Chain A
Amino acid sequence: MLQITGVSRRFGDVTALSDVSLEIRQGEFFALLGPSGCGKTTLLRILAGFESPDAGSVTLDGADLLGRPAHRRPVNLMFQSYALFPHMTVAKNVAYGLERERLPKAEVRTRVGEVLEKVGLTEAAGRRPHQLSGGQRQRVALARAIVKRPRLLLLDEPLSALDKQVRAEMQLELKRLQHEVGITFVVVTHDQEEAMSLADRIAVFNAGRVEQVDEPVALYERPRTPFVAGFVGAGNLFPGRACAVGLAADGLGVLPGASDLPDGTSALLAVRPERVRLAPETAEGAGTLRGEVADVSFYGGVSHVSVAVPGCERPVLVAVQGATRARPGTRVALSWAPEDGVLVPQ
C-alpha cells in the first residue's frame, strides 16, 4: 500500500536517510525502530509532506505522494510533542481536521463525540490542552489524528513522554484502536520492547539505513546484522569465526551455535540472556564458559545476573526466572543449546 523506494535525505554533511526502501501493507502495524538521530522522524516528515527527499519516490496505493502538498495528503501524523493547538479546547482540536473537510456541523459533532469516547476523554472535551495531564494530551493528539480516518497514520514516538505504567496502558489501547479502526499504523520508537509488543513488522534503522525488516520474533531470534543483534534485546555478542558447530571465539574456544555460514567467515555469535543457563561451577558436564558473578539485579519477574568471564570484553548477561541464589563473587558455569546461539556475519 505504501511503497518507499530509494529515499535519501541529507542535511549539510549529516546523512539523515540513505537509500531507504520499505513496503508497508494495508492494515499493518509497522514500527520504525532505531536509536535517537537515526532519521526516523525525518522519514515521517517526508511522508507527511514537511520535508522532501533528495532522491527516491514514495507512492500510496500506487499514486505518487511526494508531489502533493502536505494539506492534501491522506496521511495524518501524531507529533512527538503532540502539537495541540493551545488556544482551542480539546473538542475544537479534534474537530479541526473534520471542519477542514467541510463536513456538516452535526456530523462533525457526532464524530468528535465518538472519538473522544473511544479515547476516554468525553469529560475533558471543554478543557484546554494546558489543563490536561501528559497522558490525556497524548490521547487528544491521537484522537485528533484518527478522527480523520486517514489511509495512513504516522505516530512519532507516541508514548515516549509517558511514565512506565501509563505507557503500558497506552500500548494496549493503541493496539486495540488499530484493530477497531483498521487504519495502517506506522509508529516510530527508539524503545525495542515497545516496537516488539506493538508491531506486526519492524524496520530497524541505523544511521539513516534500514538494517533489517522482519516480524518481532524473527528479528529477536534471527538478527541478520551485528547492529540488530546488539540493539534488539540486550544480547550477548561474541566475536570470532564461523565453524561447523558454532563459533570459534577469539580467546574463548568453540561456542555452540547454529550456523549456515561458510567456515572461517568473520562473525558474531548472539545469545539472548534468557537462553543462557546458569550452573554452579562444580556442576557436572561443566559449561561452555566460566566466570564470576559481578552483579545481580532483581526486576520482579526476572533477575539479571551479569557474569565476568575472563577473555570477554563485556560481562555476559543472564536472565533468570524469579529470584536467584547467585551472589556477587559466586563462581559459575554458563551454557546454552546450540540452536540458541545465532551467528551473524560481520
Chain B
Amino acid sequence: MTGSTVVSGAAAASRSRRSRALGRLVFLGPGLAYLVAFLLIPLALVLGYTVFRRGRFGGVVYEVTGENFTRLLDPLYLEVVLGSLKLATIATVIALLAGYPTAYLIARLPRRWKTVALVAIVLPFWTNFLVRVYAWIVLLSGPGLLNGALEKIGLGPYELLYGQGAIVTGLVYSYLPLMVLPLYAAIERLDPQLREASANLGASPARTFFSVTLPLTRSGVVTGCLFVFVPSFGNFIVPELLGGGRSIMVGNLIRDQFLKARDWPFGSTLALALLAVLIVLLLLQAWSARRA
C-alpha cells in the first residue's frame, strides 16, 4: 500500500512537472517564436553568407571562400570601421558629460518636478526619428537657422552640415535620453546620506563626487554608455542625412553593400564584424556589473 502511494506520488509529481513545462511554453511561446523567425534565422543566414562568394549580378554563389574576411582588413574598410568606432565613442563621451549633470539635477528635484523632467526627456521619442534628424538639416545647413543667427552677430557662415561634427551632434541628440535615464535611475537610488557622510568626514563636494557618487553610480554610467554607443556605432540614418551621404560609418557601408553593390556576402561579413565589437562590449558590461 505504501508502495502504491509512492508510485502514484511520483506519477503525480512528474505530471505536475509536465504541466508546469507546458505552462511555461504557453507564456514563452509567442515571444520565442518571434525571436526564432525574425532574429535567429536571419542571423544564421547572415552568418552563413560570410563564407560564400558574391554572384556576378548580385545574389550568392554557394562556393566556400575566405576572401570576405581578407577584404575586411583592406585599409579602405578598416578605416571606416575605426572611423565609426571613433565617432560613436566621441558621441558617447559627450552624451555622458552632458547627461550626468542633467540626471543628477533631475534626481534631486522635488518628486512632482521629477516626473515633469523625465517626461520632457523622453518626449522626443514621441516624434519620428527621421523627422527629428531632418530638423537638424534645417538648423545646420548653409543658409540655415544657426548660420543665420551667427551672421547676425557678425560670424560665419560656417560649413556646419555634412561632416563629422554634424554626425556627432546628431548622434548625441538622438541618444542622449538613453544616457540620462539609466544615470537617473542609478543616482536616484543612491542614499543621499552617503554624500552627507562624506562631507561630514571632511570631503569637499568635488572629492565626494569622485569618491562616493561616481563609483556608486557606475552601473548607470556603464549602461548609459552602452545604450548610446551601440545604436551610434551601427547607425546609418544620421551619417546619411547629416554626413553628406558618403559611406562614413559601418552602418552606411553595410547598407550600401546590400542595396547598392549587391554584395550580400561582404555586407554580411561587415555586419558580423559590427556584431563582434558589440558582443565584446556587452561582455565587458556584464563583467563590470558582476564586480559591483
Report A's interface with B, CB cutoff 8 A.
48-50, 69-72, 75-77, 79, 81, 83-87, 96-97, 100-101, 144, 148
Identify which of B196, B207, B216 contacts A100 (C-beta below 8 A).
B207
Given A83-B191, A86-B216, residue A70 in contact with residue B199 (CB < 8 A): yes
B214 to chain A, nearest CB (A): 10
- A96 to B201, Cβ gap below 8 A? yes
Contact with A along B56-82 (1 / 0, CB 8 A): 000000000000000000000000000
**8 other A-B residue contacts (CB within 8 Å) besides A71-B205, A87-B215:** A50-B199, A71-B199, A71-B201, A79-B197, A84-B197, A87-B216, A96-B198, A96-B201
Chain A residues near B207: list those with CB within 8 A.
100
Instruction: Report how far A77 CA is from B191 CA in the complex, Å.
Output: 16
Instruction: Report how far A101 CA is from B205 CA in the complex, Å.
Output: 15
Chain B residues near A86: list those with CB within 8 A.
216
Chain A residues near B211: list those with CB within 8 A.
96
Instruction: Report how far A79 CA is from B191 CA in the complex, Å.
Output: 12
- B199 to A83, Cβ gap below 8 A? no
Could you write out 7 A-B pairs with CB less than 8 Å apart?
A48-B200, A49-B200, A77-B197, A83-B194, A83-B197, A96-B201, A101-B202
Chain A residues near B193: list those with CB within 8 A.
79, 81, 83
Instruction: Report how far A72 CA is from B202 CA in the complex, Å.
Output: 6
Chain B residues near A75: list those with CB within 8 A.
200
> Would you call B203 an interface residue if the criterion is a C-beta within 8 Å of the partner chain's C-beta atoms?
yes
> Would you call B8 an interface residue if the criterion is a C-beta within 8 Å of the partner chain's C-beta atoms?
no
Given A85-B212, A87-B215, residue A71 in contact with residue B194 (CB < 8 A): no
> Would you call B204 an interface residue if the criterion is a C-beta within 8 Å of the partner chain's C-beta atoms?
yes
Instruction: Report how far A179 CA is from B196 CA in the complex, Å.
Output: 28
Chain A residues near B200: list those with CB within 8 A.
48-49, 70-71, 75-77
Q: Classify the secondary structure of B's interface with A.
A: helix
Chain B residues near A72: list those with CB within 8 A.
202
Given A83-B193, A83-B194, A85-B194, residue A144 in contact with residue B201 (CB < 8 A): yes
Instruction: Report how far A294 CA is from B202 CA in the complex, Å.
Output: 57
Identify which of B198, B201, B205, B292 contacts A76 (C-beta below 8 A).
B201
Residue of B nearest to A69 (CB): B199
Instruction: Report how far A75 CA is from B292 CA in the complex, Å.
Output: 32
Identify which of A49, A81, A97 contacts B201 (C-beta below 8 A).
A97
- B194 to A70, Cβ gap below 8 A? no
Task: Please provide the chain B residues from 2 to 59 with a CB less than 8 Å away from any CB of chain A in the complex.
Answer: none
Residue of A nearest to B216 (CB): A87
Instruction: Report how far A87 CA is from B199 CA in the complex, Å.
Output: 17
Chain B residues near A70: list those with CB within 8 A.
196, 199-200
Chain B residues near A101: list those with CB within 8 A.
202
B48 to chain A, nearest CB (A): 46
Instruction: Report how far A70 CA is from B212 CA in the complex, Å.
Output: 16
Given A83-B193, A86-B216, A87-B215, residue A49 in contact with residue B199 (CB < 8 A): yes
Chain B residues near A69: list those with CB within 8 A.
199
- Which of B194, B199, B208, B216 has most chain A Cβ within 10 Å? B199
Chain A residues near B292: list those with CB within 8 A.
87
Chain B residues near A79: list those with CB within 8 A.
193, 196-197
Contact with A along B253-288 (1 / 0, CB 8 A): 000000000000000000000000000000000000
Chain B residues near A100: list those with CB within 8 A.
201-203, 207
Residue of A nearest to B218 (CB): A87
Residue of B nearest to A50 (CB): B196
Residue of A nearest to B196 (CB): A50
Instruction: Report how far A100 CA is from B212 CA in the complex, Å.
Output: 13
Instruction: Report how far A276 CA is from B210 CA in the complex, Å.
Output: 62
